[in-house]
Amino acid sequence: MSMPSALEIARQATLKPVADIAAGLGLPPWLIEPYGEHVAKIDLAAIEALADRPRARYVVVTAVTPTPLGEGKTTTTIGLGQAMSVIGRRATIAIRQASMGPTFGIKGGAAGGGYSQAVPFERLNLHLTGDMHAVTAAHNTLAAMIDNHLYQGNALGLDPHNITWRRVLDVNDRALRSIVAGLGSRQDGVPRQTGFDITAASEVMAVLALSTSLHDMRARLGRIVAGYTRDGTPVTAEDLRAAGAMTVIMREAIKPNLLQTLENTPVLVHAGPFGNIAHGNSSVVADLIGIHTGDFLITEAGFGADMGAERFFNIKCRTSHLVPDAAVVVTTVRALKVHSGRHRVVAGRPLPSALVAENPDDVLAGAANLRKQIQNVRLHGVTPVVAINAMPEDFSSEHAAIAEVARSMGVRCAIATHFTDGGRGAAELAEAVAEAAAEPSEFAYLYPSDAPIRDKIETIASRVYGADGVDYAPAAAVAIDTYERNGFGSFPICIAKTHLSLSATPSLTGAPTGWRLPVREVRASAGAGFIYPICGDMRTMPGLSSHPAAERIDIDENGEVVGLA
């Protein structure tokens, strides 16, 4: 018999009132703002209210380099959180919020899957409490004030050809990537070329995720650089007098959302910054609350350990000052087979028959990627644990091959069946993580804040990605010098590159060597507080596939949602 869909499983769950979930975290009613029976926002006063309580062990879930098959990182994060109660521990989970563009596109939602989900499923994947829309409105308020400033005479001398602030929308729409605004009569504005990004790619989203308080968010929004004058002077949201209105729009959005899993484990769902041009981690304020609510705080970093985890360690942890105790590196048999370079997989198409056939040699051939991602965790002094996210079609010989790789590196390893078995399917993983997190932490940042920007970039490229060096385009070199003169030199680095390879070339699987990182452009997210070198063509507005999920999502005769995945 086939397994029920994620939506069907979610509807069969017995949920507790969100007030009960909050009480289990030690949050009194006055810190909770209910959105219906099973969702609530948490007042930021909870950070101070819980500060005297014991600190939980802090665990980040990362993975091998992603493949089109998906490695189940969110599902593993949720399954591990549920499993902690199975072994007698209390856990809180912190994950990013779903973006509706991918939900209606090809990726689907961000609630986990199978019997390891965050619920309510529909609420989480469709709007939730409106944070995405607040980010969209705040971002576009600044965009509107930029164009109004041009129309009203441009007192600040903004160069219309050097305005870096685009508009955003939480929809996959390739037709909006490049547009001309201001067409029509003179009263319709100043014509100029611009475009749209998806909301998750907004710097406002990155600011939301890294802010430590409402006032910190206000200051960060004010520092956002919207464009430049003709002599290269940056013009900020503060200069345009837009930051105050943006903050008011974001006033409720900065409060983390409280949900639960199918097994009633608390889940903090907050912020959803892009994982290629931003840091790809859930919010700092959610973690500052969650770190005092149980034995473990389990969070997830986007993409592989070379991207999401590296940024978790060097960007997010610098801001929160929280020290991670362990990291889970998720892998699957199929992912390592793809990293062998012997199989070509295309999202949405049937899998090659050779990929699903028993072949531990292919697993071992792709294990170089797993080894490198384990090393990337260890570079930061954090103890890794390998999680084999088991699929029903796997063979025991293939699991044994992964376990042998882990043993050869002196790393704990556990097979997890949380997708089909819920928390009890990840009990072995939970025990391994608890052991790893109990070891003394030797956490260290990869580079000092005061290192030159080039040194930081080259450290990440060589030590994390395995590059032989970095090549800077002339414009990138000029930008770096300008940012250091403008006082941005102490910012951490967020390298924007493909997530499909350790290298800058998506087709290079495994752990490529003998290559150099090409930096074609360097930008500053002054509000979020990081520098992002761009390596390759970064799509910040996804398109829809030939048959997107939107074609299957509908309302049935009872008014219930169908087709949501």
Mean pLDDT score across all residues of the chain: 95
Of 138-152, 406-420, 529-543, least confident by mean pLDDT is: 529-543
Q: Does residue 147 surpass a pLDDT of 80?
A: yes
Instruction: Examine the pLDDT at 54 and tell me if it is beyond 90.
Output: yes
Asked whether residue 110 carries a pLDDT value surpassing 80, the answer given is: no
pLDDT for position 109: 73
Q: What confidence tens digit (pLDDT) does each residue in 491-522 have?
A: 999 999 999 999 999 999 999 999 999 999 99
Residue 351, token pair as written in the block: 């899998």
The residue with tokens 């395995």 is 466
Question: What's the rounded mean pLDDT across residues 117-136?
Answer: 94
Closest CA to 201 of 231, 179, 171, 221: 171
- What share of the chain in percent tops pLDDT 70? 99
- C-alpha dihedral over 377, 459, 201, 251, to 10 degrees? 80
| Four-way CATH pick for 133-249: 3.30.1510.10, 3.40.50.2300, 3.30.465.10, 3.30.413.10 | 3.30.1510.10
CA–CA separation, 468 and 465 (whole Å): 9
Displacement of CA 330 from its chain's centroid (Å): 15
Task: Give the pLDDT mean for 379-399.
Answer: 97
Distance of CA 209 to the CA centre of its chain: 10
Task: Note the residue count of the chain.
Answer: 565
Same fold, 133-249 and 453-534: no
The model's pLDDT over 435-459, given as tens digits with 9 standing for 90+, comes to 999 999 899 999 999 999 999 999 9
Domain-wise residue ranges, the chain: 6-129+253-438, 133-249, 453-534
Architecture of domain 453-534: Roll (3.10)
Cα–Cα distance measured from residue 376 to residue 304, given in angstroms and rounded to the nearest whole number: 10
The predicted pLDDT at position 562 comes to 85
On whether the CB atoms of residues 121 and 159 are closer than 8 A, the answer is no
Place of tokens 């009960």: 20
Which class for 537: exposed (0-12), middle (13-18), buried (19 or more C-beta within 10 A)? exposed
Whether 81 and 90 have beta carbons less than 8 Å apart is answered as no
* CB-based contact 85:263 (threshold 8 Å): yes
Element (H, E) at 435: helix 427-438
Q: Return the minimum-mean-pLDDT range out of 310-314, 435-439, 466-470, 554-558.
A: 554-558
Strands 296-300 and 196-198: unpaired
Specify the pTM: 0.96
> Strand, helix or coil at 328?
strand
State the Rg of the chain over Cα.
23
| Max intra-chain CA distance, the chain | 71
Instruction: Report the candidate in 313, 266, 310 with the shortest Cα–Cα distance to residue 291.
Output: 266
Nearest to 115 by CA among 83, 70, 67, 93: 83
Q: CATH number for 6-129+253-438: choose from 1.10.287.610, 3.30.200.210, 2.60.40.10, 3.40.50.300.
A: 3.40.50.300
Confidence label for 1 from pLDDT (cuts 50, 70 and 90)? low
Encode pLDDT of 240-256 as tens digits: 999 999 999 999 999 99
Q: Which of 136, 144, 231 is nearest to 181 (CA)?
A: 144
